[in-house]
């Protein structure tokens, strides 16, 4: 392929115009930061969704190293009406990974903007660029000797706080709700101007990373899960290292126990006794750390209840395993531990497992790591449960009420099983809400299974919507569909904002269903 003969063009852009744009990008960024060769673009195509890669193939990838370059990219994109899909570390597994929303969009990969600009060990704040990974941040903190923790999501080491927070991701320490612990952003707008949110607009301000709200309308939210700007810096709060960290698990034997365990844990979470993102992991989610489906059956379709029971029995896995942790001074933790133990005793079921009891159990180990903000990649075992590279997170929100979780688990299991797939799910409790996170795993080498997975995902969305449930985040293939769940007025407001902030529709059209062309 000669460069003038681009196989994929941005929608509505002629080959010559694209070529001119590529030349301008080269001048701005240098040749090595403008990728158009096929073998440079393929690594951006591990989409894992139930659709063909071709629909999400980028026409080019750009890497920028500073804010001025990002402004330059936006200028050239505006000039040629080229849509640009931005990623920070780009490992958005189960949501489309690094691939753009639709074919032909160029990707702006900010992995090279990876400076930790500032960490204040007294105020426990950080200001970072988009390419910074959790591993990098943790290493830096260790090197400096600061007594601070980070709060990574499960793919920890390789992903980063900016991308994760902008997609409103979640972790497992007391700082689990990442957007809650974000403070101040720098954003390159579609018109090329640079906005600093919150206190960042005040000249010489030193409160940008300590006070979220600033003055006037609070803007940070509109730059998350959206396409109104390109975030080039983000502030976040770091957790001071507690004197004592005590992780624990509670194993429950029956499917229906989810009801009681949610009722038991909710007040402990709302009252701050258990301050972290508490997990209730279903059997197969838990099993995927050590077990593959093929160890038990190679039959197509959903895994039978008998097989699931055998897995529970042979690997001593609960129907539900709750993971929580206590943090604080020795005295605080002792008092709270007593409260937790008493609550479980009062419930009359649930086997408590402490770090000592757990020994080398890899599932306990990685959960404890996550609740402590350590790096671990153990959860990638999910991809070996069924195999075949298909993974889409179905992630409805639930009230933190036992009856609601039962209803959601039953509904999801019925739909997944009907399509020959498994319920591989967990809940993450943050006081009043539960993120119900289900990994819809399927084999992409099997076109029939892939098409079942697609129908299954659509049905999950549809049936949950009928019951008043919405998802908190979704993969690029279903973004438009999910935007409908949130009603026409929200769509219209988003479109109005898009029109005002990005009239040429160049920033990530399609993100969260926001696109001036539809």
Partner 1 sequence: MHVTRRSFIKGIALGGFAGVLMARPGRALARAAAGVQSRPVLALVSGAVERSAFLQGIAETVPGEFLRVQRTDHGMGFVRDFNQLLRSGQPTRIIGLVDDASAALIVELARASGARVPWLGYHAASSGHSRHRLLSTESTRGCAMRLGRQLSACGAGFSLSEQRPHHAETSFELAARPHNGAAGDSDRWAAALGFILAAPDAELSAWMPPSVGTRPPLAGNFVSFAIET
Ligand X SMILES: Cc1cc2nc3c(=O)[nH]c(=O)nc-3n(C[C@H](O)[C@H](O)[C@H](O)COP(=O)(O)OP(=O)(O)OC[C@H]3O[C@@H](n4cnc5c(N)ncnc54)[C@H](O)[C@@H]3O)c2cc1C
Distance of CA 187 to the CA centre of its chain: 20
Q: Which of 169, 184, 198, 247 binds ligand X (CB under 6 A)?
A: 169
Structure tokens at 152: 């990574």
Q: Closest distance between partner 1 and the C-beta of residue 476, in Å? A: 15
3-state SS, one letter per residue, for 79-108 = HHCCCEEEECCCCCCCCCCCCCCCCCCEEE
Q: What's the rounded Cα separation, in Å, for the pair 500 and 516? A: 11
Q: Give the per-residue contact string, 389-408, with partner 1 (x = CB under 8 A; - = no).
A: x-------------------
Q: Does 291 bind partner 1 (CB under 8 A)?
A: no
Q: Does 91 bind ligand X (CB under 6 A)?
A: yes
Is the Cβ of residue 220 or residue 439 nearer to partner 1 in the bound state? 439
Q: Which of 58, 159, 273, 274 binds ligand X (CB under 6 A)?
A: 159
Q: Does 15 bind partner 1 (CB under 8 A)?
A: no
Q: Residue 24: which region, alpha, beta or left (left: phi > 0; alpha: psi -120 to 50)?
A: alpha
Q: Does 64 bind partner 1 (CB under 8 A)?
A: no
Q: What's the rounded Cα separation, in Å, for the pair 64 and 57? A: 20
Structure tokens at 178: 């990442």
How many residues interact with partner 1 (rule CB under 8 A)? 47
Structure tokens at 10: 């941005």
Per CB under 6 A, contacts with ligand X among 110-149 are: 110, 130
Q: Does 13 bind partner 1 (CB under 8 A)?
A: no
Q: Which residues, including other chains, have CB under 8 Å from residue 277's CB and lie 6 or more apart?
A: 170, 171, 172, 173, 174, 176, 177, 371, 428, 429, 430
Is the Cβ of residue 90 or residue 402 nearer to partner 1 in the bound state? 90
One-character DSSP codes across 452-477: HHHHHHHHHHHHHHHTT--BS---GG
Is the Cβ of residue 257 or residue 379 nearer to ligand X in the bound state? 379
Q: Does 384 bind partner 1 (CB under 8 A)?
A: yes
Residues facing residue 233 across a β-bridge: 186
Q: Which residues, including other chains, have CB under 8 Å from residue 422's CB and lie 6 or more apart?
A: 284, 293, 302, 303, 385, 386, 416, 441
Q: Closest distance between partner 1 and the C-beta of residue 132, in Å? A: 12
Site residues, partner 1 (CB under 8 A): 1, 7-8, 37-46, 52-54, 57, 89-91, 93, 97-98, 111, 157-158, 292, 294, 298, 375-378, 380-384, 386-389, 443-447
Site residues, ligand X (CB under 6 A): 86-94, 110, 130, 153-155, 159-160, 162-164, 166-167, 169-170, 230-231, 379-380, 382, 511
């Amino acid at each position: 392929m000669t460069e003038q003969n681009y196989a994929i063009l941005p929608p509505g852009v002629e080959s010559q115009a694209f070529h001119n744009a590529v030349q301008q990008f080269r001048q701005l960024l240098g040749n090595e930061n403008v990728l158009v060769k096929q073998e440079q673009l393929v690594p951006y195509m591990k989409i894992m969704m139930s659709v063909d890669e071709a629909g999400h193939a980028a026409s080019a990838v750009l890497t920028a190293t500073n804010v001025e370059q990002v402004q330059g990219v936006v200028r050239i994109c505006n000039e040629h009406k080229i849509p640009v899909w931005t990623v920070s570390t780009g490992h958005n597994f189960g949501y489309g990974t690094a691939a753009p929303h639709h074919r032909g969009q160029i990707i702006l990969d900010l992995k090279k903007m990876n400076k930790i600009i500032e960490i204040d060990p007294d105020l426990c704040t950080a200001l970072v660029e988009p390419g910074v990974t959790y591993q990098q941040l943790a290493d830096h903190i260790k090197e400096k000797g600061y007594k601070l923790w980070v709060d990574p999501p499960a793919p920890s080491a390789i992903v980063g706080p900016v991308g994760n927070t902008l997609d409103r991701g979640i972790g497992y320490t007391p700082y689990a709700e990442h957007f809650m612990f974000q403070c101040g952003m720098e954003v390159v707008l579609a018109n090329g101007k640079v906005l600093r949110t919150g206190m960042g607009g005040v000249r010489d301000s030193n409160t940008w990373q300590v006070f979220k709200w600033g003055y006037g309308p609070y803007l940070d939210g509109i730059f998350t899960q959206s396409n109104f700007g390109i975030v080039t810096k983000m502030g976040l709060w770091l957790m001071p290292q507690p004197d004592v960290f005590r992780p624990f698990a509670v194993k429950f034997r029956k499917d229906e126990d989810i009801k009681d365990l949610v009722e038991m844990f909710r007040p402990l979470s709302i009252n701050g006794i258990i301050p972290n993102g508490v997990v209730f992991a279903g059997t197969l989610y838990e099993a995927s750390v050590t077990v593959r489906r093929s160890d038990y059956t190679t039959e197509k379709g959903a895994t039978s209840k008998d097989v699931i029971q055998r897995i529970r029995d042979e690997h001593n896995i609960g129907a539900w395993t709750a993971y929580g942790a206590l943090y604080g001074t020795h005295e605080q933790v002792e008092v709270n531990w007593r409260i937790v133990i008493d609550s479980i005793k009062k419930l009359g079921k649930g086997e408590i497992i402490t770090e000592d009891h757990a020994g080398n159990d890899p599932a306990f180990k990685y959960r404890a790591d996550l609740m402590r903000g350590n790096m671990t990649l153990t959860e990638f075992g999910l991809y070996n449960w069924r195999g075949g590279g298909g993974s889409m997170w179905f992630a409805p929100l639930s009230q933190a009420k036992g009856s609601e979780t039962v209803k959601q688990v039953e509904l999801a299991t019925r739909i997944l099983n009907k399509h020959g797939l498994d319920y591989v799910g967990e809940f993450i409790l943050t006081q009043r809400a539960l993120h119900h996170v289900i990994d819809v795993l399927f084999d992409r080498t099997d076109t029939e299974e892939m098409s079942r997975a697609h129908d299954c995902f659509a049905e999950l969305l549809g049936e949950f919507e009928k019951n008043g449930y919405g998802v908190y985040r979704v993969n690029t293939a279903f973004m438009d569909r999910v935007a409908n769940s949130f009603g026409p007025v929200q769509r219209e407001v988003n479109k109005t904002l898009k029109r005002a902030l990005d009239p040429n529709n160049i920033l990530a059209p399609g993100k969260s269903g926001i696109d001036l062309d539809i």
